[in-house]
Chains A and B, each alone.
Chain A
Amino acid sequence: MINVLYLDDELHNLTAFRAAFRRDFHVHVTTEPTEAVRILREQPIEVIISDQKMPTLSGVEFFELIMPDFPGPIRMLLTGHADIDAVIDAINKGQIYKYIAKPWNESELRAMVNEASMLFHERKAVSDQGEVLLHRMQEARAMALRIERATSQASSLDASQVAEINKQAVEINRLLAD
């Protein structure tokens, strides 16, 4: 189940959200930004939904705040009519993935969360592959280092030793081809 965090100062919205999506997602709700940060730290949150208009700080501000520590989760902003300018700004700066106008359409919202989750996982996959590649590249570099060292010793080698090295080179090539 997708882990969703929903931040809103309106308690009834939280209740309604959880009632609507508890069957589909793993829903975490709170009215406090600090509580939201705690949840982010403790739960593998994939999608964050925040209301824009809140008394202490706005949704966009909240996203700015958590970006450095939690860049992964997909951010969606829930807005009323008046905040379009802020939303446009936020989208252009790449801080949010989607914005949802109140009142929300349940099925649309559900679809959006699913999409966001997919996006999260795709990104995660890409970044995982990237990590593997990075690892392999590091290995390759280490190998190249060894080869260089070996090559420097090669001048004093006999035929059997050369054959052995060739065998190792073939092995390396095979590895690199992978």
Chain B
Amino acid sequence: MGGFASSQLRNKRGIRFAVVACTLLVSFSAQAQKFIGTRLEYLPEAYNLDLLEVEVVAESEDWVSFEQLVPNLGMGEGVEWMRLTLDPMTENGKLIEIQNAGIDDLTCFMVCDGKIIASYPGGIMNKGAEGHQFGTYPSFPVPLVECNKLHALFRMQSNKPMIVPLRITGPRRVLEDAHERDVLFALYAGVMVVMLLYNLFLFLSIGDRSYLEYVLFIFAVGGAQLALNGYGFVLGTDHWPWLNLRLTHFFGVFSGLTTILFVQNFLRLSRYVPWLHKLLNGYFLLYLVALVLALLGRLEWSYQLINFCAAAIFFCIPGAIITIRKGYEPAKYFLLAFTVFIFAVFVFVLKDSGVIPYNAWTFYALPLGSAIEVVVLSLALASRINQLKRESVHAREEQLRVSQLNEQMVREQNSVLEERVAKRTAALESANSNIQNTLDELQSAQQQLVQSEKLASIGQLTAGIAHELNNPINFVASSAQSLRRDFEDLSKVIDKLKAMDPLSPNLNQEMGQLKEMFGALDIEFTQREIEELLNGIEDGTKRTSEIVKGLRIFSRMDGDNFTMAQINELIESTLIVLRSNLKDNAVVESDMGVDLPLVSCQPGRLNQVFMNIITNAAQSMDESDLAVEERKVQIKSRKVDSIGQSWIEVRVKDRGAGMSESVKAQIFDPFFTTKAVGEGTGLGLSIVMGILSDHNAEVEVETEEGVGTEFIIRFPL
């Protein structure tokens, strides 16, 4: 903010500075210049003379006088000759001055009565030679000789218009004027340098691109004015004649390019006046062509093209007006600056064409105009920055307002939302506690179900085992009683035998009685029977102890601990327990692998798994048309090796109804059952799955409807 205030202050100072400069200019150049173009003569036909001929030509009758006070000899490759007849009496010791620093090559020959007595080189090609002893304009001393006829012959060649504002005056006056000009151009240069540095500083501190373009623009415009007026030496180009010759062109191109860039950016032409933006792009290209021509040495064409392109500046006036109409304030300053400059250009051109007099005002119109332009443009830039600032402040205020509005709305919304959230939270909390209750109920129900499933299986088991035990107990007990009776029969015989006396005379009779007794008691049959009964008892006790052993293995319900166990043993104990249940509806064919390694497992829980799967397999054939002998449950255990892993694989296969894909997909889901209501909890296989996943076992089910189902369980080793 402070920066802007001080920059505006600087601009005001700039204006004051310009006003002082103008005052000086007016006071210095109050006196009108006295050019003597009408005393100059030219040759209507082109001559290319050598020096000997010069002396001849000097006296020629072909010379024709100019009509203008400031003649214009045009430009190009051709050499032009010009003659000035001097009055040796009054004008010797004075200086002939041509106030044009832009002539490339200029030589002045002093011819006294047909003899060349002196020649002075001048113009851009001959900087620093005798023709430049008094300032930036070529000037030549009139020699102090006594002649009847004294002529000054000028040989000139230039790629820029050779305008010849020529005067004869005393050296003091020339020096004074040169000094005055130097001061003025120094002033001008000072203004330009100050503006340049000032805007460079602004560019560096603000970083706005238009300041950089403006700096380049100032440099180009200022440089062009200096070069045009023979002050190119301040840029240090005097030692490079090649560059010196093209300095005007380069600066012309450079100022054109920078002007276009500056105008385009400053007036925001791409936004406000797109057609002008494109047009200026075209001019930009033409300037580049002019630059190339200058580089190639086509200086005359280049100069013409640059002049043509200068017309582009006129388009800036309508451009600025359109932009102002679209509400872009800074364009007003811009319009003012360019109007001033164009006015100055008009004055300059009209002066050259002799429409308006050649005086200090018109002479300095261009530098003055450009200085004013630069200063006003600086104001325009400041205004532009202010405009941008205003826009950004406005935008920020708008943003602030909108954000405050938003904040207000958000606050209101927030309170509404908070209320809603509170309500919702309360609702959710109550729902949550409901859900928690339901969940608790479900969990306890599930636990009860799991428990009842367990109890059901235990009940099933108990019934099975009771039946299995009943048979042997039945015949063992019964056989024991029968044995006692048989023994009583045998005892009778033995008692009879004991009572018999071998020495008794009645022995034969007693033997007969004994035989009778043998027959009556059917002792032979009794003997056979005793043997059978004993076999039965043996078999019964063996079976009973087997069952008990199986039961012990099966009922390792402590077996929630992992221990190493033989899978085959578990399956066999399960089969013993299930034998009676299976007997009337299926035949079990087991094919157990030999020498299987032990598996780390929970034996009690695995028994539950096998019991469930084998019972399912048997029950799957309940509705089957197969004869009981064909209702096979095939159980197979093997050790299998796959890549880097060994498994114990247990397969349980039935010939039941099989399952559809949809049933198969659900069999491990809790409460899923295909049995009638009340016959199964639907938890069996889901419990199986839980147990097997605790064992990291894989379960695979292969099933085909009408063919059967095979459960494949793999326990990792």
Contact indicator A80/B529 (Cβ below 8 Å): no
Q: Answer whether A53 and B580 are a contact pair too, CB < 8 Å, given A12-B479, A15-B479, A104-B474.
A: yes
Closest-CB distance, A86 to chain B (whole angstroms): 10
Residues of B within 8 Å of A12, CB to CB, are 471-472, 475, 479, 535-536, 539-540
B628 touches A55 (CB 8 A): yes
Of residues 15 through 51 on chain A, the ones whose CB sits less than 8 Å from some CB of chain B are: 15-20, 23
Count of residues in B whose CB is under 8 Å from the partner chain: 30
Of the 9-residue stretches B289-297, B310-318, B480-488, which lies at the interface with chain A?
B480-488
Do A16 and B467 have beta carbons less than 8 Å apart? Answer: no
Tell whether, in the assembled complex, residue B584 and residue A53 are in contact, meaning their CB atoms are under 8 Å apart.
Answer: yes
Nearest CB to that of A15 among chain B residues? B532
Whether B466 sits at the interface, judged by CB under 8 Å, is: yes
Q: Are A13 and B475 in contact (CB under 8 A)?
A: yes
- Give A41-75 as 1s and 0s: 1 = Cβ < 8 Å from B's Cβ atoms: 00000000000011110100000000000000000
Beta-carbon contact of A15 and B536 below 8 Å: yes
User: Does B478 lie within 8 Å of A20, measured CB to CB?
Assistant: yes
Interface presence of B533 (CB below 8 A): yes
| CB-contacts of A62-101 with B (<8 A) | 80-82
B residues within 8 A CB of A80?
A: 466-467, 470-471, 580
Interface residue SS majority, chain B = helix
Which residue of the partner chain, among A20, A56, A81, contacts B482 with CB atoms under 8 Å? A20
- How far apart are the CA atoms of A78 and B536 in the complex, in Å? 19
- Closest chain B CB from A67 CB (angstroms): 20
A residues in contact with B514, CB < 8 Å: none
> B466 near A19 (CB under 8 angstroms)?
no
- State which of B464, B473, B475, B481 has its C-beta within 8 Å of the C-beta of A15: B475
A103 to B470, CA, bound (A): 6
Is residue B278 within 8 Å, beta carbon to beta carbon, of the partner chain? no
Q: Does A106 contact B (CB under 8 A)?
A: yes
Given contacts A12-B540, A54-B584, A82-B580, contact A20 B481 (CB under 8 A): yes
User: A149 at interface (Cβ–Cβ under 8 A)?
Assistant: no
Chain B residues, Cβ within 8 Å of A171: none
Which single member of A16, A54, A55, A58 contacts B474 (CB below 8 Å)?
A16
B584 touches A58 (CB 8 A): yes
**Cβ distance A58 to chain B, nearest Cβ, rounded Å:** 6
How far is it, in angstroms, between the C-alpha of A17 and the C-alpha of B533 when the chains are bound?
10
Closest to A82 in B: B463
A82:B467 contact, CB within 8 angstroms: yes
Q: Which residues from chain A contact B234 at a C-beta distance below 8 Å?
A: none
Digitize B538-576: 1 where CB-to-A-CB distance is under 8 Å, 0 elsewhere. Answer: 011000000000000000000000000000000000000
- Please tell me which one of the listed residues A19, A20, A53, A103 contacts residue B473 in the complex, with CB atoms under 8 A apart: A103
A178 to B461, CA, bound (A): 65
* Contact B474–A103 (Cβ < 8 Å): yes
A102 on the interface (CB 8 Å rule)?
Answer: yes
Q: Find chain A residues with CB under 8 A from B470 CB.
A: 80-81, 102-103
Residue A10 at the chain B interface, CB threshold 8 Å? yes
Alpha-carbon distance A55/B584, docked complex (angstroms): 5
Which residues on the A side are within 8 Å of B19 (C-beta)?
A: none
Q: How far is the CB of A34 from chain B (nearest CB, A)?
A: 15
A58 to B539: give the CA distance in the assembly, Å: 24
- Chain A residue numbers with a CB within 8 Å of B482 are 16, 19-20
**Per a CB cutoff under 8 Å, which of B533, B580, B583 touches A16?**
B533
Instruction: Identify the closest chain B residue to A51 (Cβ).
Output: B471
* Binary per-residue interface labels of chain A (101-129) against chain B in the complex, 1 for a CB within 8 Å, 0 otherwise: 01110100000000000000000000000
A13 and B584 contact, Cβ closer than 8 Å, known pairs A80-B466, A81-B463, A81-B467: no
Residues of A within 8 A of B628 (CB): 55-56
Complex Cα distance, B477 from A23, in Å, reads: 18
Cα A20 to Cα B475 with chains together (Å) = 10
Nearest Cβ on chain B to A107's Cβ, whole angstroms: 10
Q: Is the CB of A81 within 8 A of B466?
A: yes
Question: Shortest distance in angstroms between A6's beta carbon and chain B's nearest beta carbon?
Answer: 12
CB distance from A99 to the nearest CB of B (A): 13
Residues of A within 8 A of B466 (CB): 80-82
Give 23 A-B contacts (CB < 8 Å), ordered by A residue. Answer: A12-B535, A15-B532, A15-B533, A16-B478, A16-B479, A19-B479, A19-B529, A19-B532, A23-B485, A55-B584, A58-B584, A80-B471, A80-B580, A81-B466, A81-B467, A81-B470, A82-B463, A82-B464, A82-B581, A103-B470, A103-B477, A103-B478, A104-B474
New contact pairs (12) apart from A15-B536, A16-B533, A80-B466, CB-CB < 8 Å:
A12-B540, A13-B475, A15-B532, A16-B475, A16-B536, A19-B478, A19-B483, A19-B485, A19-B533, A58-B584, A82-B581, A103-B477
Residues of chain A at the chain B interface (Cβ within 8 Å): 10, 12-13, 15-20, 23, 53-56, 58, 80-82, 102-104, 106
A-B interface, 3 closest residue pairs, ranked by CB to CB distance from nearest? A19-B482, A80-B467, A103-B474
